[in-house]
């Protein structure tokens, strides 16, 4: 049964992606050629609706095949809206996190855009479509490479700043998996992370986006994803082997010091950001324990 359900899901996602990528390509051509901001904004809105259609199609898949039950709990200071900018941060355990987050936020906030590893641009259809939509592609250098050549940090910083200029054009939700990679016990041990259920957060990309967008960033949505029976592989998720997902969303205000920083983040601002993220990560770590015990 799992093999049948998974095969149907893979074929469905492939067709849904093809149907949505074609109009994105067609809209991207006039958007690149027309210099009139108003026209570009209208075309950009059309591309946003295509993203909504793709996510909505995937939602139909999750519901139609009863792939998984996603339970969502919120603790928000005010209602969410599609006409605002948001930073969304989340723990990261599986590629299925993307489907879960997109389903959770569909029609509640602008479509999610997130940092993508540069190698993924070669994914057929989807890689190019994400680039055209302004997803920031980053290289993710190893600690050893950065120690040998610190100037490599500028590559990802510049890519993030270019993407942030694109984000300014219309309300956007920027998703940042602060751990930078999916959690595994091996990575946790290698990092010697001080958190029980999380890898050490990387704050640079988040800080650069907020500094670039300034006070457009309405609030931060801190998302905690828990798979009570263990994080599934993408195949396990879409084939219906992950029956339950818990999602909690809490709102938080960005440290105001970030709004005054621009292309560079002064040392004192980076320290403030790290302290703020550590507070969120400590709370998230504890909450993951509590949700797992409650299962």
Binning pLDDT at 50, 70 and 90, where does residue 124 land? Answer: confident
pTM: 0.89
Q: Report how far residue 154's alpha carbon sits from residue 149's, in angstroms, rounded to the nearest whole number.
A: 10
Q: Is residue 230 part of a domain?
A: yes
CB atoms within 10 A of CB 9: 22
248: tokens are 């909690």
How many domains are contained in the chain?
Answer: 1
- The Cα–Cα gap between 70 and 138 comes to 30
Residue 272 falls within a domain, yes or no? yes
Q: Is residue 271 part of a domain?
A: yes
d(CA 290, CA 286): 6
**217-226 vs 85-90, strand pairing mode:** parallel
Compute the residue count for the chain. 295
Indicate whether 31 belongs to any domain.
Answer: no
| pLDDT for the residue 215 | 82
Query: Cα separation of 49 and 51, whole Å?
Result: 5
**Residue 4's CB: how many other CB atoms inside 10 A?**
11
Q: Which one-letter DSSP state was computed for residue 223? A: E
The answer to whether 73 touches 121, Cβ cutoff 8 Å, is: no
The answer to the question of residue 17 being in a domain is no
* C-alpha distances out from residue 74 to 104, 144, 178, Å: 11, 40, 20
Arithmetic mean of pLDDT, 234-242: 94
Q: If you search the block for the tokens 């809105």, which residue do you land on?
A: 45
DSSP code of 115? -
Rounded-to-integer distance, Cα 4 and Cα 248, Å: 31
User: What does the alpha-carbon distance between residue 93 and residue 230 come to, in Å, rounded to a whole number?
Assistant: 9
Nearest in space to 225 (alpha carbons), one of 185, 278, 177: 177
Kindly state whether residue 18 falls inside one of the protein's structural domains: no
CATH number for 149:
3.40.1130
Residue 266, domain extent: 69-294
The three-class DSSP label of residue 135 is coil
The per-residue pLDDT for range 214-224, each reduced to its tens digit, is: 888 878 999 99
Percent of the chain with pLDDT strictly greater than 90 = 52
> Is 62 inside a domain boundary?
no
The number of helices, as runs of H, and strands, as runs of E, in the chain is: 10, 8
Give 63-76 pLDDT, tens digit per residue.
Answer: 988 999 999 999 99
**Domain annotation covers residue 53:** no
Residue pLDDT, tens place only, 75-115? 998 899 999 999 999 999 999 999 999 999 999 999 998 88
Q: Decide: 109 and 84 in contact? Cβ < 8 Å.
A: yes
Please give the pLDDT value at position 140: 65
Half-sphere exposure of 295 (CA within 13 A, CB side): 16
């Amino acid at each position: 049964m799992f093999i049948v359900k998974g095969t149907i899901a893979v074929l469905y996602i492939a067709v849904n992606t093809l149907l949505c990528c074609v109009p994105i390509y067609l809209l991207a051509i006039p958007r690149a050629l027309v210099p009139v901001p108003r026209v570009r904004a209208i075309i950009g809105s059309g591309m946003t609706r295509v993203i909504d259609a793709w996510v909505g199609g995937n939602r139909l898949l999750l519901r139609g095949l009863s792939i998984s039950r996603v339970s969502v709990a919120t603790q928000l200071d005010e209602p969410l809206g599609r006409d605002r900018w948001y930073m969304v941060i989340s723990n990261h355990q599986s590629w299925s996190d993307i489907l879960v987050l997109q389903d959770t936020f569909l029609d509640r906030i602008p479509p999610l855009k997130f940092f993508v590893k540069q190698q993924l641009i070669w994914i057929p259809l989807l890689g190019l479509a994400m680039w055209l939509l302004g997803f920031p592609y980053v290289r993710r250098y190893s600690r050893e490479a950065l120690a040998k050549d610190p100037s490599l940090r500028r590559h990802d910083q510049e890519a993030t700043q270019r993407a942030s200029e694109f984000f300014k054009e219309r309300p956007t939700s920027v998703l940042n998996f602060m751990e930078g990679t999916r959690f595994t016990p091996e990575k946790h041990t290698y990092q010697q992370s001080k958190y029980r259920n999380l890898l050490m957060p990387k704050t640079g990309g988040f800080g650069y986006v907020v500094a670039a967008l300034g006070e457009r960033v309405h609030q931060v949505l801190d998302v905690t994803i828990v798979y009570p029976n263990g994080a599934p592989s993408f195949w396990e998720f879409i084939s219906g082997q992950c029956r339950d997902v818990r999602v909690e969303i809490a709102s938080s205000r960005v440290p105001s010091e970030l709004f005054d920083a621009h292309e560079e983040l002064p040392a004192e601002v980076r320290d403030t950001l790290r302290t703020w993220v550590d507070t969120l990560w400590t709370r998230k770590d504890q909450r993951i324990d509590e949700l797992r015990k409650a299962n």
